[in-house]
Structure 1
Amino acid sequence: MAKCEICGKLPRRGFKLSHSHIRSKRTWAPNIHRVKADVDGHIKRIKVCTGCLRSGKVKRAQ
């Protein structure tokens, strides 16, 4: 599932709107990466969105 384990960001649903105003359903998925991170002193592989990676909420393992 495309869910960030830090902030809980999930896919959003909405409508794609054409020029003629025909609405069709679509989804926007968050940009999720699987990274090795330092979680409570242990190295774990977690799914994190790029927003959390860029903001420094996750410390990547070296």
Structure 2
Amino acid sequence: MAKRCAVCGKGPQFGHNVSKAGNRTKRRFEPNLQAVRVALPQGGTRRMRVCTRCIKAGKVAKAA
């Protein structure tokens, strides 16, 4: 499954691990995704993978 937020579309970013000697190896920065039961505007609930930023900003209404 893709590591993408269902709300904002945030995905992995790429960078380097840098050692003391300055050697660089590739690495990925993964978004902090959580499986959350979301209350849909049309009614009902659905399980979605949402980043913590969207949860904290209130872009998602959690199902009770």
Q: How does 1:32-43 map to 2 (within 5 A)?
A: 32-40=33-41, 41-43=43-45
- Paired residue secondary structure (1:47): strand
Structure 1 match to 2:5: 4
- Paired residue secondary structure (2:16): strand
CA RMSD of aligned residues (A): 0.8
- Paired residue secondary structure (2:4): coil
CA distance in 1, matches of 2:17, 2:40: 38
Query: Size of the alignment, in residue pairs?
Result: 62
Moved over 6 A (4+): none
Q: CA deviation at 1:42?
A: 2.1
Higher strand share: 1
TM-score (norm 1): 0.94
Unpaired stretches in structure 2, ≥5 consecutive residues: none
Aligned sequence identity (%): 37
CA distance in 2, matches of 1:42, 1:6: 17
Check if 1:58 corresponds to 2:39.
no
Unpaired stretches in structure 1, ≥5 consecutive residues: none
